[in-house]
Amino acid sequence: MAKKTKIHEIVKYPDPVLAKRGEPITEFDDDLKTLVEEMFESMYAAHGIGLAAPQIGVSKRLTVIDVNFKKDPADKLVLINPEIVERQGQQYEEEGCLSLPDIRDKVKRAAKVKVRAQNADGEWFEIEGEELLSRAFQHEIDHLDGVLFIDRLSRLKKDLTVRKIKKLIKNGEW
């Protein structure tokens, strides 16, 4: 009988774990592989296309991405200790975040990026992404650095967003 995968609750802004830089991962063991599976299941349960470990309260440099949302298992990406090694062009598109439910805004990002990361076995690899995948890479790696997409908005837009969230929290709606 298959073990039931744990679905983690998504941590919401302003939880301090979201503002912390994640710790590098050095142990590539079964616990890590279990965490990766739990992250995919938690991301799918929340209807996301990317999830960083800090978003489930784990301050580690790990993110999972599936921009095609379950259409093809080959599209499931695991990035451990990722870093962007190359950026090209520019895109300005709307983003959302599982840690900021119902908040969306346009963010400026590189149009194409190359990422260097490790897989769940600790092997290094490089991968390139354009458009949505590029945005997902940058958004999720930002999470690992303690940066949320609202931190990339103008000061005015960020202040308005934070004020809106504080009101939702006060009214018990967040």
The enclosing domain of 84 has a CATH number of 3.90.45.10
Catalytic residue among 86, 93, 140, 173: 140
Does some domain include residue 11?
Answer: no
CB 116 within 8 A of CB 89: no
Does some domain include residue 2?
Answer: no
Is 140 among the residues known to form the active site? Answer: yes
139 in a labelled binding site: yes
**Residue 121 DSSP SS3:** coil
Mean pLDDT of all residues in 91-106: 96
pLDDT digits (tens, 9 = 90+) for 128-162: 999 999 999 999 999 999 999 999 999 999 999 99
77 in a labelled binding site: no
| Paired sense of beta strands 100-109 and 91-97, if any | antiparallel
Largest CA distance in the chain: 53
Paired tokens of 171? 């009214």
Other Cβ atoms closer than 10 A to 41: 17
97 in a labelled binding site: yes
Would the pLDDT of 2 be above 60? Answer: no
Measure the CA–CA gap between 159 and 138, rounded to whole angstroms: 22
The number of domains in the chain is 1
Question: Model pTM?
Answer: 0.95
Would the pLDDT of 1 be above 70? Answer: no
Identify the CA nearest to 60 among candidates 47, 85, 78, 42: 78
Does some domain include residue 21?
Answer: yes
Residue 96 CB burial class (10 angstroms; 0-12, 13-18, ≥19)? middle
Which range marks the domain in which residue 46 is found?
Answer: 16-170
DSSP assigned state of 60:
B
